[in-house]
Amino acid sequence: MRLSKFFVPTLKEDPTDAVVISHKLMLRAGMIRQLTSGVYSYLPLGLIVFKKIQDIIRDEMNAIGGNEFLLPALTPNEIWAQTGRIDDFGDIMFKIKNRELVLAPTHEEVFTSIAKPNLISYKDLPCMWYQIQTKFRNEARPRSGVLRGRQFTMKDAYSFDVDYAGLDISYSLQDKAYKNIFSRSGLKFFSVNAFSGAMGGSASEEFMVESDAGEDVVVITDDRSYSSNIEIAVSYKEDVGRKNSDLKYEPFHTPNIKSIEELAGFLGITDKSRLAKSRVFVNPAKSEDKKDDFILVLVCGDDEVNETKLQNIFGQNIRPGHPEELASITGADAGSIGPIGLKDKSIKIIADLLLKDADELISGANKNDYHIKNIDLKRDVNNIEYFDLRVVKDGELTIDKKQKLKITKAIEVGHIFKLGTKYSEAMHSFYLDKDGIEHPIVMGSYGIGVERIAASYIEQNHDDKGIIWSGEIAPFKVHLICASAAKEEIVKETDKIYNDLFNGEKIEILYDDRPDVRPGFKFNDADLIGIPIQVIIGEKNLKNGNAEIKIRRTGERILVPLDNLYTKVLELIDEY
Ligand code: ATP
Ligand code: MG
């Protein structure tokens, strides 16, 4: 491809609106342009990369027996109502104003609607269906370029099986295909146990790329024997335990003490585990004739409540109580709430497992500026239930106490779910077994973000000059540069190398033939765009029958006789 005829609007400076590196570099390298918040136009260079990623994905999906579909983005409200997901997704779903349609954020419902009248016998199963298609999500903060777009390309696949054993097989096929896709895309990645969220289902696994640009927080061990999204991560920590004292609980005055830190300071203690932190959450009523449920959550004073774990127990919509709600339900403001003497007696009380049957606890008195000491959860709090509710902390040990946990930021590039029968039951997609008995189809769903793979790759492969492509997703293999564009014979010679030696397009080659661009500018653009092998044809080297090769990743420069250029380039393409 001749650069003179290929639209690559590179930018010299970092765009001010971009924060993360991949966003800056995709804009600067002329791969994408923003149309409006979270919505991008893909320019020719960007599109080449995205298509290459799609080719890899398609290849790996077909290799595990996937059938490629293409479903519409416009979908009827009614289909989402069947599974209740119009409400579950809430504001993330784009809703069309003048029709009863939504722009699909995912396609479980639509695929199930195709399965329902067609996969009706055990003989029709198993099936693996997929598409590579545009998704729409009204992301609240689309600020990292194509890492979090409001419109983006997803490969979504769905498996249909007769039973859970079948699902296990489909799921592990996808798992393996995902690992191939990310390896072939040049990513350093790992997988973690994950929360299933609005998808529902039993097990799910996310594929992560460690990066500061990531919005996920993951917990891993150095040997990777444990890896989990922090949303569901667990660790070993000694429980608070019982002292078995028979001290009665007793309120005491704590003027202006609002936080656990202030309370610990006031009491002159450093171990905050017996200072029970109380937080109030609201589970909104499902219909207008019902009341909201209130839940008081207790964790150790040095812990935080993990809201995803709460969602796992109470459903997606649970949220922290507002200040007015706290006051009316408990009788106090946030810093003085506790399990004893709540104004509203119907509030449900739950506590973290580390507090199981603990006594001699201190917590708020539900009266501003007062706390209560010697609370015994076993003796004083009726119907209390215990769950794992805490956020794991950096440096804690794994449950088996063998490994130290490290917390790091990561980008989620893929997510696979064992859905089970949530969608087939809701939409009545059933099959008949050998004996003519009806069963819901057992489903899995499997998603990958195409643009997110490209951006994650750039996060992991760049330097201060630009992107460093390699392997299958590089937009071109070779960047040929005519460094003396003003000299006719040099231009002729470089044209000849492009046409004859590289046979035009046989090796994917970008030829910077721009006649009126200074060499320094061309070199900078080449480093910015980041094609793995640069071949530079300049006057001095050419006089001696040589071309210069620069390896983008290492910066190494090699002089190669023209006779040997093709062979050398082929060799280097393999390596970089
Ligand atoms: P996130 O937690 O980052 O919002 P998600 O868990 O909602 O993502 P899934 O529903 O699991 O995403 O979607 C499957 C894949 O689609 C993700 O692993 C990711 O690669 C990609 N993806 C999801 N949302 C976006 C987005 N807003 N922009 C770009 N890619 C996305
Ligand atoms: Mg996900």
CB of 412 closer than 6 angstroms to any ligand 1 atom: yes
Least confident of 190-199, 215-224, 262-271, 463-472: 190-199
For residue 206, the CA-to-ligand 2 centroid distance in Å is 7
CB of 149 closer than 6 angstroms to any ligand 1 atom: yes
pLDDT above 80: residue 401: yes
Q: In the prediction, which pLDDT does 196 show?
A: 72
CB of 337 closer than 6 angstroms to any ligand 1 atom: no
Residue bearing the CA closest to ligand 1, atom 17:
414
Q: Where are the alpha helices (DSSP H) in 149-237?
A: 164-184
Q: In the prediction, which pLDDT does 17 show?
A: 87
Encoded tokens for 229: 């999204």
Q: Where are the alpha helices (DSSP H) in 408-487?
A: 422-426, 450-460
Residue bearing the CA closest to ligand 1, atom 29:
148
For residue 137, the CA-to-ligand 2 centroid distance in Å is 13
Q: Where are the alpha helices (DSSP H) in 345-448?
A: 377-380, 422-426
Residue bearing the CA closest to ligand 1, atom 31:
449
Residue bearing the CA closest to ligand 1, atom 12:
415
CB of 122 closer than 6 angstroms to any ligand 1 atom: no
Give the mean pLDDT of 54-81: 98
Q: In the prediction, which pLDDT does 288 show?
A: 84
**pLDDT one-digit tens code per residue, 524-561:** 999 999 999 999 999 999 999 999 999 999 999 999 99
Using 50, 70 and 90 to split pLDDT, how confident is the model at 198? low
CB of 452 closer than 6 angstroms to any ligand 1 atom: yes
**How many of the other CB atoms lie within 10 Å of CB of 12?**
9
For residue 203, the CA-to-ligand 2 centroid distance in Å is 12
For residue 118, the CA-to-ligand 1 centroid distance in Å is 29
CB of 475 closer than 6 angstroms to any ligand 1 atom: no
Collapsing DSSP to helix, strand or coil, 114 comes out as helix
On whether the CB atoms of residues 459 and 187 are closer than 8 A, the answer is: no
Q: In the prediction, which pLDDT does 199 show?
A: 62
Residue 408 bridge partners (DSSP): 218
Collapsing DSSP to helix, strand or coil, 524 comes out as helix
**pLDDT one-digit tens code per residue, 412-459:** 999 999 999 999 999 999 999 999 999 999 999 999 999 999 999 999
Give the mean pLDDT of 173-177: 98
For residue 131, the CA-to-ligand 2 centroid distance in Å is 17
**pLDDT one-digit tens code per residue, 96-151:** 999 999 999 999 999 999 999 999 999 999 999 999 999 999 999 898 999 999 99
Q: What is the identity of the amino acid at 146? A: V
pLDDT above 60: residue 275: yes
As a 3-state breakdown, the chain gives helix, strand, coil percent values, each rounded to 5, of 30, 30, 40
Q: In the prediction, which pLDDT does 68 show?
A: 98
On whether the CB atoms of residues 398 and 381 are closer than 8 A, the answer is: no
* Mean predicted lDDT score pLDDT of the chain: 95
Residue bearing the CA closest to ligand 1, atom 11:
415
User: Phi, psi at residue 355, to the nearest 5°?
Assistant: -95, 10
CA-closest candidate to residue 403, choices 231, 223, 234: 223
**pLDDT one-digit tens code per residue, 7-46:** 999 999 999 989 999 999 999 999 999 999 999 999 999 9
Q: In the prediction, which pLDDT does 500 show?
A: 82
Instruction: Report the atom number in ligand 1 closest to the C-alpha of 447.
Output: 14
Give the mean pLDDT of 376-394: 96
**pLDDT one-digit tens code per residue, 366-375:** 999 999 999 9
Tell me the ligand closest to 182's alpha carbon: 1
Q: In the prediction, which pLDDT does 287 show?
A: 80
Encoded tokens for 460: 């992991």
CB of 449 closer than 6 angstroms to any ligand 1 atom: yes
pLDDT above 60: residue 92: yes
Q: In the prediction, which pLDDT does 505 show?
A: 57
Compute the distance between CA of residue 440 and CA of residue 438 in angstroms, rounded to an integer: 7
Tell me the ligand closest to 154's alpha carbon: 1
CA-closest candidate to residue 146, choices 12, 18, 9: 18
Q: In the prediction, which pLDDT does 498 show?
A: 93
Instruction: Report the atom number in ligand 1 closest to the C-alpha of 105.
Output: 10
Quick one: angle between helices 450-460 and 44-63, nearest 10?
110
124 DSSP assignment? G
Q: Quick one: CA dihedral 122, 124, 126, 129, positive or negative?
A: negative
For residue 415, the CA-to-ligand 2 centroid distance in Å is 5
CB of 107 closer than 6 angstroms to any ligand 1 atom: no
pLDDT above 60: residue 479: yes
Give the mean pLDDT of 276-298: 93
**pLDDT one-digit tens code per residue, 495-519:** 999 998 777 557 899 999 999 999 9
Using 50, 70 and 90 to split pLDDT, how confident is the model at 200? low
Residue bearing the CA closest to ligand 1, atom 2:
412
Instruction: Report the atom number in ligand 1 closest to the C-alpha of 137.
Output: 27
377 half-sphere exposure, CB direction, 13 A CA radius: 31
Q: In the prediction, which pLDDT does 238 show?
A: 93
On whether the CB atoms of residues 25 and 462 are closer than 8 A, the answer is: yes
Please, is 160 exposed, middle or buried when counting C-beta atoms within 10 Å of its C-beta (0-12, 13-18, 19+)?
A: buried
Encoded tokens for 491: 């231009």
For residue 170, the CA-to-ligand 1 centroid distance in Å is 21
Q: In the prediction, which pLDDT does 502 show?
A: 73
